[in-house]
Amino acid sequence: MDNIAGSRPALIWAVHLSVVLLVALWVFPTFGLLVSSFRSGDQISGSGWWQSLATQEAQMPAVRLKGAEVTRDGRFVIEGRLFDSAAEVSRWGINSRDPEAFAADESTTLPGGQSLTVARDGGFVLEAAQTMADLRMPRVFVTAATPPEFSLGNYDSVLINPRAGQSVGQAFLNTLTVSIPATIIPILIAAFAAYALAWMEFPGRALLVALVVGLLVVPLQLALIPLLQLHNAIGIGKGYLGIWLAHTGFGLPLAIYLLRNYMVGLPRDIIECARVDGASDFQIFIRIILPLSFPALASFAIFQFLWTWNDLLVALVFLGSGDGELVLTGALVNLMGSRGGDWEILSASAFVSIAVPLAVFFAMQKYLVRGLLAGSVK
């Protein structure tokens, strides 16, 4: 009796813990990426995102001194700042072997005879008895405490005012142009086909169902070159029409298979009553089947949109790799190759790439669990 009331099998607890673990593995990296996208490159390289709200003391990248030389009291002086942020210097040095040799506001004599002082606020003063115009300026290694800092500068650099090689704005629009039609077109075609295979009687229906199932196992890479040759032969070549048709062809087998299996499970009484009342197949499909099949349609729409949004291979083959044709995934690959050290730019660009899929998923996920058939039959 103890196992009947008031207890949970161990399997249920294992399932719940597994779900919690999977959610955590997905949420924490995503949240970390969001936080990092608002931080500067020095902060990202110096501390983890979970430390973003605390003042961090870390060694900053080496800075080579520069500035205009002036004459003061018979000596040659160069003044400036090591960094523009509000960091506070605690220790500094002039070589990588001992980067914390001196305290803030302490002075030292360089091998060339110059005197160098680094202040706590990041300012420096380099003095010499002779001109330093022809000398190579020394590098300074700084350990500084950096307060929390967040800004929209990374997104401005990526979307609005990009520097060379950092823009993903056009690629973002290209991806939207590809993904939205490539999601809607296969759903429209697959819904009609699934209804015909599920509720209409015609010769060869079972053979068509078997053909659809067989197409599910055709490798995508196997069809790329023949399909591109067909596109070139009929004159559509590389362009948006070609990639829409390619995504439609690759997505139709799974869409028809899923929707057909869902529609077959709909109550037969509803279909028969509609036919007795004189409804045509088209009226039954529009007024009954589509509303009741909305959860299945939404489910496939989510997966198809995510597939087309994150696609790179099909986009490169059927659209191209030019600046005006590159999709978001391709732009991120180029950005990773050319700006591999700018972590703040990469994090902002990566979050831009997942923002739309996240919005689509959270907007439509309720249809994955919502039963529209409740109350349709008594």
Average pLDDT over residues 56-60: 77
pLDDT digits (tens, 9 = 90+) for 219-275: 888 888 888 888 888 888 788 898 999 999 899 998 999 889 888 888 888 888 888
Q: What is the mean pLDDT of the chain?
A: 83
Average pLDDT over residues 196-220: 86
Q: Is the pLDDT of residue 124 over 90?
A: yes
**Whether residue 181 is found in the same domain as residue 299:** yes
**Whether residue 290 is found in the same domain as residue 193:** yes
pLDDT band for 214, please (50, 70, 90 cuts).
confident
Q: Is the pLDDT of residue 375 over 50?
A: no
Q: In what order do the strands lie in the sheet with 139-146?
A: 56-64, 139-146, 88-93, 102-103
d(CA 368, CA 309): 20
The end-to-end CA distance of the chain, in Å, is 36
Domain contains 84: yes
- In this predicted model, which residue has the larger pLDDT, 322 or 256? 256
The residues with which 76 forms a beta bridge, in sequence order, are 71, 128
Structure tokens at 137: 């300026």
Structure tokens at 115: 């005197």
pLDDT digits (tens, 9 = 90+) for 341-350: 677 788 888 8
**Whether residue 177 is found in the same domain as residue 141:** no
**pLDDT, position 180:** 93
Question: Between β-strands 75-81 and 123-128, what pairing exists: parallel, antiparallel or unpaired?
Answer: antiparallel
**Whether residue 202 is found in the same domain as residue 309:** yes
Number of domains in the chain: 2
Domain contains 19: no
**Whether residue 210 is found in the same domain as residue 176:** yes
pLDDT band for 368, please (50, 70, 90 cuts).
low
**Whether residue 221 is found in the same domain as residue 268:** yes
Record the pTM: 0.71
Domain contains 50: no
Q: Is the pLDDT of residue 156 over 50?
A: yes
**Whether residue 179 is found in the same domain as residue 108:** no
**Whether residue 108 is found in the same domain as residue 245:** no
**pLDDT, position 377:** 44
Average pLDDT over residues 89-96: 89
pLDDT band for 338, please (50, 70, 90 cuts).
low
pLDDT band for 1, please (50, 70, 90 cuts).
very low
Which of 7-21, 184-198, 327-341 has the least mean pLDDT? 327-341
Domain contains 44: no
For the chain, percent of residues with pLDDT exceeding 70: 90
Q: For residue 331, what is the domain's CATH number?
A: 1.10.3720.10
Q: Give CA 88 to chain center in angstroms.
A: 34
Question: Between β-strands 123-128 and 115-118, what pairing exists: parallel, antiparallel or unpaired?
Answer: antiparallel
